[in-house]
Amino acid sequence: MNEQHASHGLVQWHGTTIIGVKKNGRTVIAGDGQVSMGNTVMKPNARKVRRIGAAGEDGLGKVIAGFAGATADAFTLFERLERKLEQHRGQLMRAAVELAKDWRTDKYLRNLEALMIVADAETMLILTGNGDVLEPEGGIAAIGSGGNYALAAAKALDPYEDDPEKIARRAMQVAAEVCVFTNDRVTLEEI
């Protein structure tokens, strides 16, 4: 999952697909399970989407997140984002901006190779190591090597489907059919 190339200043990760869909008061983030090293599948069932943050009344974290990039780096970022959420009383936008500042300026964090899609009940964001905190237009975001395929599929489905989970699952299916670094073992979280 560490192979990368720069395209128009953005880092593109090979080895995963993550999609976020926000529609009708629901937000889902879905990701495939394939971990690749070069052209070899190292693990087919990795969990790249998870709940983070303090548990709510339902016992579940109030933020969902998915990552593309180096696994150990992503876990470090998940932990850092959880700490920022605690510091800023669960305010995702504030926590994300503070994490992005640290990510861009901290000597250790600057070397982390990952992208993230994070969401709570109100907001969905893409976080990058360039210090970007991007709110996707139209409530659909995708990252990773199959991200553009999933994004195109989700945008095509959006006018015809009201269920964000169905959009995300179909978009992941399309990405898995086209991207050799993406498989059909989908993990999905909803908020």
Query: Whole-model pTM?
Result: 0.86
pLDDT the model gives residue 10:
43
Catalytic residue flag (residue 16): yes
Higher pLDDT, 2 or 116: 116
Which of these, 102, 103, 143, 101, lies nearest to 119 by C-alpha position?
143
Higher pLDDT, 105 or 48: 48
Alpha-carbon gap, residue 128 to 113, rounded angstroms: 9
Output the pLDDT for position 132: 87
Q: Tens of pLDDT along 17-71?
A: 999 999 999 999 999 988 877 788 888 888 899 998 766 655 557 899 999 887 7
Q: How confident is the model at residue 7 (pLDDT cuts 50, 70, 90)?
A: very low
How far apart are alpha carbons 123 and 82 in whole angstroms?
A: 16
pLDDT of amino acid 55: 67
Cα separation, 83 vs 94, in Å, equals 12
Domain ranges of the chain: 4-182
User: Is the pLDDT score of 3 beyond 50?
Assistant: no
| pLDDT of res. 58 | 54
- pLDDT for the residue numbered 157: 97
Q: How many Å separate Cα 45 from the centre of its chain?
A: 16
Out of 16, 71, 182, 187, the active site residue is: 16
80-92 pLDDT per residue, tens:
889 999 999 889 9
Fold of 4-182: Glutamine Phosphoribosylpyrophosphate, subunit 1, domain 1 (3.60.20)
More confident residue, 82 or 8: 82
DSSP designation for 9: T
Q: Which residue has the tokens 């992208």?
A: 115
pLDDT tens digits, one per residue of 126-185: 998 778 899 999 999 999 999 999 999 999 999 999 999 999 999 999 999 999 889 999
